[in-house]
Every structure is written in C-alpha cells, then in structure tokens.
Structure 1
Amino acid sequence: QHDPRHLTPAAVFPSSEYRYREYSALTDERIGEALASLDADVVVGTRPGLNVHLALQAPARTVRVGQEHLTLDNHPPRLRRALRRVYPRLDAITPVTEADTAAYRRKMRLPGVRVQALPNSVPAPTLPPADGRERVVVAAGRLVPMKRFDVLIEAFAAVATAYPDWKLRIYGRGEEQERLRALIERLGLYNNVFLMGAVTPMEAEWVKGSIGAATSDFEPFGMTIVEAMRCGLPVVSTDCPYGPGEIITPGDDGRLVPVGAPDALAGALLDLVGDDELRRRMGRNALENSRRYAPASVVAEAEQLFEELLAARGGDRPARGTDHALVSGGYAARDTMLVAAGSVVRTVRKARR
C-alpha cells in the first residue's frame, strides 16, 4: 500500500468495472508479471476486470477462461463495450445460467470464443436434511431492496392468518432492516416473522425449516435457493431473471410465482403449508434434484470443458511442472484469479501423460 504505483490509476483493469478503485498501476504490473510466469495449461478469471487482464496478459499458450458471476445485462454499457473489445482473445466465457449464456451469444459477437454455462456449486450439508415437520419458512440474503423481503412479509400475513403457528425467519443484514422491522410491526406479525441477523454457515438454519422462500426482483444465479434445496427444502421463488427458473422445477421441488406479486406468493406458500405430504414430497425431490449442483458434478463439467478447449488448441503439450495459484501483491489478491486451481489442472495434465 506504500508503493507510489498504488496511487496511480490502473490502465489494464477497466475503469468501468465496479471495483476499479481497488486496483492501480501496481496491481496492473503485479498481475501481469504473475500471468507471464504461469506454468498452467488453463487459467480462469473470476470477475470482468480480471478477465480483461487474462485476455491481454496471459501467455498465448494458455487456455484462458473468463467467468461471469453477474450477468451481461447487469454490466454498465461502458463496461460491456470494454469487454467486447478484449473478450475475443479469451478461449471461453462461462456464465452461471443458460439465460445469460444466450444473452452473451446474442449480444457480444465473440466468434471463436466458446460460451458455455457453468453453474455455481453448493456442497452437501453436514447435517441431516429437513424432514418437513417444522412449521417454519426460511429466507436468507442481504436486506436490500432488490431482494424484496417486504413482498415476502406481506405475503406471509396471509399464512399467519390461516396458520398462526407457522413462523417466517429471515436471515441477513442490510440497509432495509429497520424498514422491514417497521413493516412487521405495522402488519402485527411480530409473533410470526423474525429478522434473525446474519448467520454463517446457514445450513443449520435451513434444516430447521420446512419451506425455503426467495422473492428477488433479480438473481444472477440463486445460491440461497440451491442451499435450501440441498438441505431438503422445497423453495417458493419469484420467477425473476435469471436463475430461479433454471433451478426450480415447478410442482416437483418448488413453486415459481410472478415478481412483486404478494398474493401469488401467499397462495404458493399456503399450498405447501396446508399439505404435509406435498411439502415433504417436494422436499425429497429438492434434495435429489439439487445434487446436480454438488461440487463434484460442477467440477466434472469444468474438467470436460477444459479438456475440450485444450483439444481445440491441439492440446497435447507436455506437462510443464508444478501447479500454482496466481496471487497478486496488490488488492487484487482478494479476488484471486485461479489457475484452474490444483486438482483441475492436475486432472487435465494426467489425462495427457
């Protein structure tokens, strides 16, 4: 932090990227040096700015994969233009949903760049799954306007009226906390709806519930939905862009309702609250269906993608030594650009020996 180069604005990391202020001429230099020294076959960037570094500074022999954890449309136009200029130098882009993958293919014009969805992974909980007997609905996330916990609280008023022994627990913290607390008081739900604060890890709280709820206006993926399902909870969610509709199979392991529609949300919750067998069956299906997001499954998809990208490059180069992760001496270290970390790189190399 005392290096004068850290006071000079970054030139490689794009100025339109959300975290530009954390980067500098020093991080430009350190990331470039680390990339130039790479001995890996595959290197993966973890956010748009680092993907730009990857496109411009990674060795030509290295397969370059840029992850997209938000969505293309979520980026400001100036950042999209910057990415469009350099992303043709990547080998692949991996959005987390098929919907965003389609947007990239349609809008970015990246001939020769493979665009393939690669979802986030959620490990199996270490606790036994929920059994559907607890009279509790669980929701989790930052208490911010986009998550629309106000809609969930309004919808739960109908549940509390019909089933006063049911509770709603909302986990998280954020700017909306006092407004949500006031809404709970105004609706007289102080015996039924509880703001629980932030808890990590959440699995011990998911398994205390019988239904998960997600009410966002927008979700690049929907990690809390998968977390709840991995713990055996059916999930009632808004059918918002982009993730919920790809995670939940309506009527099988959860329900999808329109965005910003408390009456529809209340109806879906009441269907599950009022039918013990339906709720438990959906919970069992959620547990089974969510196994596709297990780390082993997602890593297998990544390994196959990397193998195919290497093959497309004529990838039978000999292994070149020890795997190592890229670590920057600047602020970028907090984002850690992965060198297709450890086990994946070793698997790729082993297959070619």
Structure 2
Amino acid sequence: MEVERVKKLAREEEKAQSRIIQGIPEECLAKAIGLTSPADACRAAAVSTAFRSAADLDAVWTRFLPPDCDAVLERAVHLVDAPSKKELFMDLSNEHVVLDDGKMSFGLERSNGAKCYMLSASELVIEWMHENLYWTRRTDPDSRFSKVAELLSVCWLHIYGTINSRELTPATHYAAYLVFKLTHDASGLSSPRQTSFVKVGGGPCLQSCRPSSTSGGASSSLLVGSTHTVSLHPCNRASCTRNGAAAAEPHEHEQGGGVGGVVRYPRHRVDGWLELEMGDFHTDTDICGGDDVMMEVHEWEELKWKKGLIIEGIEIRPRN
C-alpha cells in the first residue's frame, strides 16, 4: 500500500509540474531552448508536449544554423529545400551539400551546428595532376563529387589545399582530414615518408615542415598550426604496438626500428573512405578575421615510386 501511495503522489507531482509548464508562453520556452544547443533541444523535445512544440519552432533552429547559411546554400549545385529550419539543420548534419559547381561541399556538425566543408580533389593543388602519365580524374560511385583523382605513378607526393577562416565557425577547434581510398594494387604508401601540416596565415612552408624526431612531428618553425609524420596506408594492428601493448589511439603509434617519434595513420570512415588527420587549429573569435588555413601532405625524404591512391578531398570539421 505504501508503494502505491508513493506512486500516486509522484503522478500528482508530475501533473502539477506539467500544468506549470503548460502555463509558460511558448515563445519563452523557445527562447530558453534556443540558448542551449541542437543536442539539448532534441532532449528538451522529449520532456513534454509543450517542450516538444517549442523545441520544433523555426525560432529555435534559426539560432543553431550559421548566420550566413542562406548565402552558403545559394552556392549549392542543386536547390536545397526543407519544410522547417529544424529539417534543414538535420538534413545538413546528415549529408553534405555540394557547392560551387562541385568544387567543395558543406554540412553542419550535429552537436553544435559548427560549419564543415570538404574541398574536392579538383579544388586541391596536386603535383603532376595535369600530367596524364601520373594522375587521372575519374568518377567514383562512393564520392559526393563528380570526379576524384587517382594516382597512377609518381615518385614525389604533394597535395595542398586552402580555405579562408571566414568560411568557418568562429572560436572553434577544427581539424583537417585527407579523405581517400587505396586500390587493391596500391604500393609505395605504407612507409611513414610523408609529412602533413596545417598552418593558419602566411604561405606554404615545404622546407620548414620536416618532422622533428623528438616531438612527434612538431616543427618549431610553425607559429600557428601542427605538423605530423604520416603514413597513407592503414596501420596493421598486429604491428601497431608500443612495448607489446596496443597504442592508446589506433591512428597513432610510435615508430619502430629506432626511428623515434609518432606516426599518424588513417582510419576507416562509415562511408567507405579512409581519412587521415592532417592537423588541427582554432578559429579566431572575430568573425571578420580572414586568414587562410593551409593544409598539405608531402614527401620529405627517401623518395619512392607509388601508385593506387584515390583522393576525394580534404575535409575540415570540428575536432572531437
């Protein structure tokens, strides 16, 4: 009987709280929810009918969309249409929209609404790209872009891309990822002979980005940015160990053979591609800032012939 009495009191308390919530004007609830985050808004929608109604309002989801979202979507290859701001947010967080005649794509980070971009292979500077003997452009059914770049044969790798920080969300920790595949007969890409770097402001610095043997690939000559020694071939888990134990993060591990330093390896994506974290950076709090963010992968020693690399592009998204 005591248990039933407690349950009855709990139900009466819940009804009383519900009546209080029902008495709050919807616009007040919407304003409060809009001060949280997209994830919190979705949680609020599960609280009650009143919260759900307020959490679905355009006034809430307009606050989560980037201020220049409409201007960005005007550059879309195909018309982007959604019945509500919430639907638009969800669509952009589920799948990128292709912009600028296929040069790049745009999406949103679901947790906080930060802007994400991918520069297509056609928008990157790839050494020897225009020589049919070394590279070719072709279609790929898994790509969001009409063309990808496939490496036929080259002895020196150099991939370079830039994006202006004005395109990104201010005061956000971003990372750049090379998105690619390997053909079944790929070769020359497994050894850590490449360096990746991300740099904000200034210009390309090929000569200053050689990895350090004492700091995991960091270069003291970079004032803003990060540099890493990388391999474009996924790490063999059996060999990616440190003193017989698996490395803390599957995409990084200590080099063996007395070489020293940390090698960064690619990871598998759910869309079937591989991604290699090239480096990370923070955007300024000033939305009027306009520094270029430079992202590069290049060979730094022991040049070796390689083939079988298929590049979709470089993705820039918030770092988790």
TM over 0.5: no
TM-score with structure 2 length normalisation?
Answer: 0.24
Task: Name the structure where helix makes up a greater proportion of residues.
Answer: 1
Task: Name the structure where strand makes up a greater proportion of residues.
Answer: 2
Higher relative contact order (CA 8 A, sep 6+): 2
